[in-house]
Amino acid sequence: MPIEPVYTVKECADKLKVTERTILELIRKQKLRAVKVGREYRITESAINGFIEGTPQTGEISTKPRKKRPS
């Protein structure tokens, strides 16, 4: 099974010919599916193609739940 290409926000912005800010806004509005790795997002080729084709997206995919800070 081939590995699907994964893009950074900058690479995705270059591919779609928009700004990085636009990509981050699309992720925030759950119009473009992304995975947060550390402090950065990664976007799969299928998420980009789904966005272009107008396929409904499910928003950000969390890699693990965040830990709550003590009060």
DSSP per residue over 26-65, as a string? HHHTTSS--EEETTEEEEEHHHHHHHHHT-----PBPSSP
Residue 63: pLDDT over 80: no
Q: Which residue ranges make up each domain of the chain?
A: 6-53
Query: Is the pLDDT at 18 greater than 80, yes or no?
Result: yes
2-17: per-residue pLDDT in tens? 899 999 999 999 999 9
As beta bridge partners, residue 37 has: 40
CB hemisphere CA count around 13 (13 angstroms): 14
The CATH topology of domain 6-53 is Arc Repressor Mutant, subunit A (1.10.10)
Structure tokens at 57: 């997206």
pLDDT at 68: 74
Q: What is the pLDDT of residues 34-48, one digit of tens each?
A: 999 999 999 999 999
